[in-house]
Amino acid sequence: MDLREKIKNIPKTELHCHIDGSLRPSTIIELLRKNNLPLPVSNSSNIEDNFKISGNCGSLKEYLNKFDFPIKVMQKKEDLYRVTFELLEDAKKDGIRYIELRFAPYFHTAEGLKVEEVVEAVLSAMKDAESKLNIYSGLILCAMRHEPVSKSIAVINLARKYTDSGVVAVDLAGNESDFPPELHKAAFDLAYEADINITIHAGETGICKNIMKSINILHASRIGHGIFAYKDKSTLHYLIKNHVPLEMCPKSNLDTKAVGSYKEHPIKTYFEDGLRVTLNTDNRTVSNLNLVDEYMNLVNILGFTEAQILQVMRNGFLSAFCSEDLKNKLLNEFEKSII
Ligand SMILES: [Zn+2]
């Protein structure tokens, strides 16, 4: 069996995957048509290229523009259900056993859905996928940095309503350069007091100090990306000593120009230094890859060995926000599959 096939067949996790960045391009087109929305004006012969970064991404703006059409077609309950279920089908094809999906629920209330209806549509697709596809999943609700803290508090309160029905954590996402973590302290204090898991996008766009701020001020137990940790030795030391999982997404970091080339990505150094590195896609459609592709990139571009790949996979299970029972069951399955 070749390595790609082997990687595909091993049960894996994915802990950092945005729903709105991971819609099937064909579904975006279909839903734009169904909802009588304008199709993108295409410069390319293939209209689906509008939703992906092809070749070198020109700018962060170009990257962020890729989310416009997906969000437009995620405004109805049945459409939210469909794109979530399809994403879980795609994850299943990668051999993913447990995935944490995330999104910002208030992006999907533009056409009148109540925010609870938005969350329930996604949770219902996740529940159905568990019984029909045998894939486990958890939902992470994202607060947005550019929004006032009152909106973040609303997201945390929303998460509290659904912690027994599939919401596993909350996150803070968006423009890291202009909106530092401390602006949202009141919201994440509330999440911490309510015993909700917290992961924060930090150190993704050059600002290393946001990593420790996210841990110390916002109570993060996992960090989204964290690529700029290398800029401060004491941050690196803290992450290693406390086994803080990093949800790393190298191709996405290349697309947003956080690294100049895939080869320059620090994931291999971090792994060898003993950081708890996990591997994720971030946005499957925008970055035009799946999780198996990303594992192959670790091997082919960064020189990860097979044993190192298995440890990255193991780290995923160890870092999951699911119940301890499910974690132990899945870890057992994983260990048995690699004997
Ligand atoms: Zn992300």
> What's the pLDDT at 123?
98
Lowest-pLDDT range of 54-58, 78-82, 83-87, 180-184: 54-58
68 is in an annotated binding site: no
* 56 pLDDT higher than 80: no
20 contacts 71 by C-beta, under 8 angstroms? yes
Total residue length of the chain: 339
243 is in an annotated binding site: no
Q: Which residues does 31 contact at the CB level (< 8 Å), separation at least 6?
A: 37, 73, 79, 82, 83
Distance 201 CA to ligand 1 centre (A): 7
282 is in an annotated binding site: yes
Choice among 204, 272, 306, 333 that is catalytic:
204
Distance 285 CA to ligand 1 centre (A): 13
State residue 279 phi and psi, 5-degree precision.
-120, 135
Distance 16 CA to ligand 1 centre (A): 6
16 is in an annotated binding site: yes
Tokens linked to 147: 């929004």
> Could you state, in order of their start, the residue ranges of all structural domains in the chain?
3-337
219 is in an annotated binding site: no
Distance 2 CA to ligand 1 centre (A): 31
> What's the pLDDT at 57?
62
Lowest-pLDDT range of 36-50, 91-105, 273-287, 300-314: 36-50
Which amino acid is located at 216 in the chain? N
Q: Which residues does 234 contact at the CB level (< 8 Å), separation at least 6?
A: none
Distance 270 CA to ligand 1 centre (A): 19
Distance 5 CA to ligand 1 centre (A): 27
Q: Is 116 among the catalytic positions?
A: no
> What's the pLDDT at 177?
86
Distance 336 CA to ligand 1 centre (A): 31
Q: Which residues does 337 contact at the CB level (< 8 Å), separation at least 6?
A: 9, 10, 11
Alpha carbon distance 46, 36 (integer Å): 20
pLDDT tens digits along 257-302: 899 999 999 999 999 999 999 999 999 999 999 999 999 999 999 9
pLDDT tens digits along 111-139: 999 999 999 999 999 999 999 999 999 99
In the chain, DSSP assigns E strands to 12-18, 96-103, 136-144, 167-173, 197-202, 222-225, 245-248, 276-279
pLDDT tens digits along 132-141: 999 999 999 9
Q: Is 171 helix (H, G, I), strand (E, B) or coil?
A: strand
48 contacts 285 by C-beta, under 8 angstroms? no
Give CA angle at 141 (136, 147), nearest 5°.
165
Task: Tell which residue, 150, 73, 161, 79, has the closest CA to residue 115.
Answer: 161
* 59 pLDDT higher than 80: no
Distance 244 CA to ligand 1 centre (A): 17
Given CATH 3.20.20.140, say whether it is the number of domain 3-337: yes
Cβ neighbours around 136 below 10 Å, total:
20
> What's the pLDDT at 58?
62
pLDDT band at 61; cut points 50, 70, 90: confident
203 is in an annotated binding site: no
> What's the pLDDT at 64?
82
Alpha carbon distance 105, 109 (integer Å): 8
DSSP 8-state code for residue 168: E
> What's the pLDDT at 43?
64
> What's the pLDDT at 115?
98
Distance 1 CA to ligand 1 centre (A): 33
Query: How far, in Å, are 17, 65, 190, 299 from residue 307 at the CA level?
Result: 24, 38, 40, 11
